Amino acid sequence: MIKFQNVIKTYEGNVRAIDNVSFNVEDGEFVILLGPSGCGKTTLLRMVNQLETITDGDIILNDKSVRHSNIIEMRRNIGYVIQSNGLFPNMTIEDNVLAVPNLIGWDRAKQQKRYSYLMDLIGLNPDEYRKRYPHELSGGQQQRIGVARALAADPPVMLMDEPFGALDPIIRTRLQEEFLQIQREVKKTILFVSHDIDEAVKMGDRIALFRDGKIMQYDRPAEILSHPNNDFVSEFIGNDRMLKSMSLYTVKDLSNVCSLQPNITSEDIKIIKENTSLRTAISLLLNQEADQLVIEDENGNNMGSLTFDLINEFLRKEVRGSKAYE
């Protein structure tokens, strides 16, 4: 668990970057630090692994103040992905990924096994990339290597500073989905910086929304979308919050409440899995000619089809009528 207790950070020149911030992050929780540029997200992250000093207050990591922890040992247990991917340019991909295991003296066989595992996890062929250098990879591939490197020694805590920040929307979406998949497998305590509400809603168990170094709201995504604490939060999440909240539901959730339609056979109908988010389903329906999507379960069995009318029915029954949207 990470406890932020009345944390204050004042830089030289009296810039108060973090202003009396308190909140807790549970073990295994994925928490998004969200807010506009300059609100203090990077500063807060860097105080956790003591790349920045804490001016006042404290951060407690596993019952111990980070101020009094052995910095080397603590950083070994914290994976850190910096805002730009921060790979070592003159080291091969393999050496980049294995930087920490190498540093802490893992034997060769264990390192090799770990390298292959991580490359598979991030969807890059271990042998194909092994001897390449960072500049020989695309931006998205480099970002993925940055994530693999931070995961390498299997740290229980991850600090990720806009790890998908500089990517185009398509690669970004793919990496987000890959990373959610990774998190389901490895269950770490994660602080993940973003300034994108969509990314936050999609990825976070909880969101801490900041403004000028202060927490405006700390809550589950559904709560933030449905019950914004103040005008700043409402404005930040924007006026299409109903559409945004659709990324919290999957087609499967809908099929538990509404009956899917029988399929109309046609050649150019798109097939999607039942664990696809409703937000993705809506954009597919809006962007393709067909007015239905065929739904498959995990085993590839046809479950019926999804139409726009069904989504409206689900919204009426489940979302608008629910407690969250009173």
Ligand X SMILES: Nc1ncnc2c1ncn2[C@@H]1O[C@H](COP(=O)(O)OP(=O)(O)OP(=O)(O)O)[C@@H](O)[C@H]1O
Q: Which residue has the tokens 């910086």?
A: 193
Nearer to ligand X, 40 or 101 (CB): 40
Q: Which helix (H) or strand (E) holds 198?
A: helix 197-203
Closest CB 56 distance from ligand X, rounded Å: 16
User: Position 311: which residue type?
Assistant: I
Query: What is the rounded CA–CA span in Å between residue 260 and residue 254?
Result: 9
Choose from Mg ion, ligand X, none: what does 189 bind? Cβ within 5-8 Å by kind: none
Residue 222: alpha-carbon gap to chain centroid:
16
**Residue 287 in the binding site for ligand X (CB under 6 A):** no
Query: What is the rounded CA–CA span in Å between residue 306 and residue 214?
Result: 43
Residue from 2, 7, 31, 39 that binds ligand X (CB under 6 A)? 39
**Residue 53 in the binding site for ligand X (CB under 6 A):** no
**Collapsed DSSP state (helix, strand, coil) of residue 117:** helix
Q: Which stretch binds ligand X (CB under 6 A): 31-39, 99-107, 117-125, 144-152?
A: 31-39
Nearer to Mg ion, 97 or 167 (CB): 167
How big is the site for Mg ion, counted in residues (CB under 5 A)? 1
Q: Which stretch binds ligand X (CB under 6 A): 21-29, 32-40, 104-112, 151-159?
A: 32-40
Choose from ligand X, Mg ion, none: what does 277 bind? Cβ within 5-8 Å by kind: none
User: What is the DSSP pairing of strand 30-34 with strand 206-211?
Assistant: parallel
**Residue 195 in the binding site for ligand X (CB under 6 A):** yes
Taking residues 30 to 49 in sequence order and writing x for each that binds Mg ion by CB under 5 A, - otherwise, the string is ------------x-------
Q: What 8-state DSSP symbol labels residue 76? A: H
CA angle 283, 293, 254 (to 5 degrees): 80
Query: What is the rounded CA–CA span in Å between residue 148 and residue 178?
Result: 12
Residue from 25, 30, 32, 41 that binds ligand X (CB under 6 A)? 41
Q: Which residues bind Mg ion (CB under 5 A)?
A: 42
